[in-house]
Amino acid sequence: MKKDIEGIVHRHEPDVLVMQKENAVRPKTEDGGSRNQVIRFSIGTVIFVAAILLKGSNIQLYVYLISYAVLGWKVVYRAVLNLLRGQFFDENFLMSVATGGAFLVGDFPEAVAVMLFYLVGEYFQDLAVSRSKKSITELMDIRPDFANRKESGGLARVSPETINIGDIIVVRPGEKIPLDGVVAEGESWLDTKALTGESVPRVVKPSDTVLSGCINQSGVLNIRVTKTFGESTAAKIIDLVENASGKKAPTENFITTFSRYYTPAVVSLAILLAVLPPLFFGGGWADWIHRALVFLVISCPCALVISIPLGFFGGIGRASRNGILVKGGNYLEAINNLDIVVFDKTGTLTKGAFEVTAEYPEEGATSGELLEYAAYAEAFSNHPIALSILQAYGKNVNKDSLTEYMEISGYGVSVTVKGINVLAGSGELMKKENISFAESDSIGTKVYVAAGGKYIGCIVISDEIKDDSRKAIAGLKAHAVRKTVMLTGDSKQTAEAIANELSIDEVYAQLLPHQKVERVEALEKQKRSKGKLAFVGDGINDAPVLAKADIGVAMGSLGSDAAIEAADVVLMTDEPSKLVDAIKIAKATKRIVWQNIIFALGIKFIFLIFGALGISGMWEAVFADMGVSILAIFNSLRVMKAKV
């Protein structure tokens, strides 16, 4: 099977190394390849200088040919291979034709010198691309090298791929956490910067969830593994970033299409330049063929083909460094055109951590009695509202004293406490049980409590707004987002209060998941012609809406499979303002990419005219090709330092 795959791959890309994924290790050929290139360059240069010194000798031509063969054999070989596969008009073809033609018209030194200069340019171009990709991939250097598995005989240093769910691993200070898990023993500070972009360490203790890729800074941690390596956060993030370049931005696709038509067009023009002037206007054939060859070298679109994808790759890397995972250049470019941003409320704009903010005991009851009855009623529930009541009560609940516990779906709970029937739930529960009560107009979730058939009061539970939410909404408006919208299943009163406090333009409350999808579909019709709609949610309950939006943004969901799968962009902290940072990075990326397009095409256009007029020679032609490519690549690297 492997040989069949290798055969297919090598027919298309002979230089590609094929490996099985589970055993794949990145080959360390980069330094070796560079060394061979330098050796070949040095030998070829010495022979070239010798040929120049042999001026007038009968063997000079043969020495030039040897020098050319040493320097350019790989270029010619690739050109022939591509021709046999039906792939014409690439840079290897253009250089082979141009330098071969120079030999035919008697420009031997120039032919070798151009190949020599091309080799130097290609070396620096490869070096620039290699270093740029290295600087980007180092930002995501979260792949664990090993795991210390706890066994009966002590610790065994093993590959993370061999760890099973439920195994205990030990992480010492300074080591990366290799797999997701829960702290079984120990306390420590974790450096989460590689995942979140945040430099502030996070403290963890027993029962806390920890994620692979974080670095243990202080104490020794015993961690019970909850996900295999392939499902761990580090593995998913690495896979996401590595595959992000597969989803090309419209600008990248434009350049690919442009090159497909541009290169054959300039080759045709070069042929016409070599043939028509000598036929109709006179002049030497050698001179016009030389001009056509120069024209060919200048025409190669290397700068565009290399620097533009590299610009988007750099933008994705810069975003990753800032705790923002973008699944492709297409989404990064789309962020530039955000017109409407729709937010989920709970866990996105608010903390999603409920707490008791007010107690309203009925006359004849105390706050303590109200909380006690509510706590006993909610003793068996794991709902956030129930947990907030139990936390506010702050005492142990004797569950042995509870009988006849029953959840009344959509209303609340009923339980008998020491012979007294207690009801806790919505106002609809009070009405259903025919208990007279006064509805509260407080903002928040209300839990009404009755004991022994008598109403004893109301508890108000609120979800606090994140401090960062105000910054996020203000930042979006500062970056020309026309409309901000909030969707929630909460009450209209609570939703409007939060929307007003955050200056959100529109709010829709009491929505079920399918109604959120319908609302997003309606908002899609309100976009400007080229505008995009983004939905920001937790990536779990809102997966259908994330999929429906132009750009689905999951936030505060690090480690959630649903978030990573459903979203196009993942904000790796609980800060909605990261979306504003994503806009800044997207704008910087677009600006640099278009600088490269204008710069490369502008220089090439000027030199094409100079080449046709005979002003530019081969040396200038190679500079126009390789020189512009190198400058454009280095310009692409500036996106890595884009201000956020």
| Range of 14-18, 349-353, 478-482, 639-643 with top mean pLDDT | 478-482
Question: What's the whole-number mean pLDDT along residues 231-242?
Answer: 70
- Residue at 84: amino acid letter: L
Distance of alpha carbon 476 from alpha carbon 343, whole angstroms: 12
Query: What pLDDT does residue 581 have?
Result: 93
Q: Exactly one of 90, 167, 339, 344 is catalytic; which is it?
A: 344
Edge-to-edge strand list for the sheet holding 202-204:
202-204, 188-191, 215-216
Query: What pLDDT does residue 484 have?
Result: 96
Distance of alpha carbon 605 from alpha carbon 444, whole angstroms: 65
What would the two tokens of residue 76 be? 């010619």
Question: pLDDT band at 580, cuts 50/70/90?
Answer: very high
Q: Is 550 a catalytic residue?
A: no
Query: What pLDDT does residue 23 have?
Result: 41
Query: What pLDDT does residue 15 have?
Result: 46
Task: Read off φ and ψ for residue 505, nearest 5 degrees.
Answer: -70, -45
The predicted-structure confidence for 81-116, as pLDDT tens digits, reads as follows 877 877 666 667 777 877 777 787 677 887 787 788
Query: What pLDDT does residue 76 have?
Result: 86
The predicted-structure confidence for 206-233, as pLDDT tens digits, reads as follows 998 888 888 898 889 999 999 888 887 7
- Residue at 484: amino acid letter: T
Which CA distances in Å does 267 have to 82, 418, 610?
Answer: 16, 94, 16
Distance of alpha carbon 535 from alpha carbon 426, whole angstroms: 30
The predicted-structure confidence for 154-170, as pLDDT tens digits, reads as follows 899 999 999 999 999 99
496, pLDDT greater than 70: yes
**Of residues 71 and 484, more confidently modeled:** 484
The structural domains of the chain, ordered by start, are: 10-138+244-312+589-641 (no CATH), 147-228 (2.70.150.10), 324-349+466-572 (3.40.50.1000), 353-463 (3.40.1110.10)
Question: pLDDT band at 47, cuts 50/70/90?
Answer: very high
Entry pTM: 0.70
Question: What's the whole-number mean pLDDT along residues 604-618?
Answer: 81
Q: Is 413 helix (H, G, I), strand (E, B) or coil?
A: strand
Distance of alpha carbon 286 from alpha carbon 238, whole angstroms: 55
- Rounded to 5°, the CA angle 605-611-614 comes to 145
Write out the H or E segment, with its range, that includes residue 445.
strand 445-451
Which region among 68-77, 391-400, 450-459, 551-560 has the lowest average model confidence (pLDDT)?
551-560
The predicted-structure confidence for 1-32, as pLDDT tens digits, reads as follows 555 555 555 554 444 455 554 443 343 444 55
